[in-house]
Amino acid sequence: MPKPSSASQSSAQASQHVVVVGAGIIGVNVGLALLKQGYDVTIVDRAEPGMGASFGNAGGIAVTECAPIAMPGVWANVPGWLMDPLGPLSVRWSYLPKMMPWLIRFLAASSKSRVEQIASELAAILNRAWQDYDPVIAETGLSDAVFKKEGAMGVYRSEKTRRDAEYGIDLRRRNGVKIRDLTKDEVMDIEPDLAPIFACGVMEEDWGRVLDPFRIVTGFYKHFLERGGKFQNAEVTDFVYRDGKPSAVITVQGDQITFDKIVIACGAWSKTLAKRLGSSVPLDTERGYNTTVPYNGVRLSRMVICADDSFVLTPMETGIRVGGAVELGGLVAAPNYNRAKALFAKGKEVLPKLSAEGGTEWMGFRPSMPDSKPVISASPKHENVFFAFGHGHLGLTMAATTGLLIADLVSDATAPINMTPYRIDRFQG
């Protein structure tokens, strides 16, 4: 039987209501892509759009970051993580029992064969990031006012630490990333306000950044509303089923919002809703910290990645953001802002003119899968359920592409890449 024409498909889709749970950068891009496909779309979130991880992230369009977090030999670092509460990756002892299944899968993903495979699968999404973002940026009118494409500079304190990073750099190069080596003098020529403590560096040429991640989300959200999308401020707690498949969300107030199809895209909070829809998933939370301080005469022209200490410096609209580090501690425990202070101290060592005066500290929840790959998937249980979460450090980077891929899945269209690696049930069986 021939497929219906695009006109008849559009007409059918216009009569279908899709609920997107989550109003962060992923959910808003999913909503925009579905509107373009002709669906009636409502985004539902317990918070205002962009107030989660999308609000205070480091602002990188990190299209070069196809190397997963779990790299070969990472297991040797675990004892140090457990002993150093302010290190680049720490685990709260009280959360460790709950975290163990995730950590076991994380370590299993660090074998060289798995890392090679994961990198190619992440690159399949990342290599599309700019071409998928550019039309959305143009439509919203944000353009160069908030998006910058000048690359990012990674810096190394010694030639040895640069050599130690060679496998990861070569891995990225083999997956299409343009990386140029820099001498010590070139590092200082590019960023003269850095302390003269770096032996060498690399320029990751396709990297970009935004001047304000919250402004990006709210700009896209405004465009979503202008195109006819709707928003409802409510927390989704459960689902109503009809004829064996979900047909409405139930909010914490007890209200119901009916739908024909639903996309779960609420970041770190997606795990509970996915389970209620029949799909268990090893999603957990990386708690990321940063401090943003006014410039006060400090010059920084692009993002600087301090590879030895695992943090970044980002020049933003409101000042310089010093961020990074990962704390595995779940969604409930109070923030440990000593981590932000420790990061800032490292930032000041790298950029000595930084001043903490007038600065603000922030903590956000990165929704992370143990293999560093997002879930972009149809449900194996219900034909009208879809998932878009688990992007870890790359939500801002992958958002436009994720929106388009989900729109293809919802519309039963052929996606431009193989979607099998991002299935929600990939850890089962």
Condensed to tens digits (0 to 9), the pLDDT of residues 131-171 reads 999 999 989 888 766 889 999 999 999 999 999 999 999 99
Confidence of residue 326 (pLDDT cuts 50, 70, 90): confident
Tell me how far apart the alpha carbons of residues 117 and 164 are, in angstroms, rounded to a whole number: 21
Q: Are 173 and 181 in contact (CB under 8 A)?
A: no
For 70, phi then psi, to 5°, come to -85, 100
Q: 86 falls in which pLDDT band (50, 70, 90)?
A: low
Which tens digits make up the pLDDT trace of 101-137? 999 999 999 999 999 999 999 999 999 999 999 999 9
Structural domain count, the chain: 2
The answer on 246 and 309 residing in a single domain is no
Burial environment of residue 197 by CB neighbours within 10 A (0 to 12, 13 to 18, 19 or more): middle
pLDDT bracket for residue 8 (50, 70, 90): very low
Domain enclosing residue 275, as ranges: 6-54+215-281+372-422
By the 10 Å C-beta count (0-12 exposed, 13-18 middle, 19+ buried), 182 is classed as buried
DSSP string, 58-96: --EE-TT--S-SS-TTGGGGHHHHHH-TTSSEEE-GGGH
Q: What is residue 11's predicted lDDT score, i.e. its pLDDT?
A: 56
Taking only the tens place, the pLDDT of each residue in 283-313 is 999 888 999 999 999 999 999 999 998 899 9
Return the ∠ at Cα 271 (arms to 265 and 277), rounded to 5°: 85
For residue 1, pLDDT beyond 50: no
Say if residue 191 is in the same domain as residue 240: no
Q: Is 22 helix (H, G, I), strand (E, B) or coil?
A: coil
Confidence of residue 93 (pLDDT cuts 50, 70, 90): confident
In whole angstroms, give the CA distance from residue 215 to residue 50: 9
Residues 244 and 382 both lie in one domain: yes
C-alpha distance from residue 65 to each of 90, 179, 202, 413 (Å): 21, 11, 14, 28
pLDDT value of position 55: 84
**152 and 89, same structural domain?**
yes
Q: Do residue 16 and residue 31 come from a single domain?
A: yes
The pTM is what? 0.94
Q: Rounded mean pLDDT of 35-41? A: 97
Give percent of the chain above pLDDT 70. 95
The CATH number covering residue 37 comes to 3.50.50.60
Clarify whether residues 93 and 169 are in a common domain: yes
According to the model, what pLDDT value does residue 85 have? 67
Residue-level pLDDT at 12: 58
Mean pLDDT of the chain: 92
At 324 the pLDDT is 85
- Residues 224 and 345 both lie in one domain: no
What are the backbone dihedrals phi and psi of residue 258, each rounded to the nearest 5 degrees, phi first? -80, 155
Q: Are 272 and 283 in contact (CB under 8 A)?
A: no
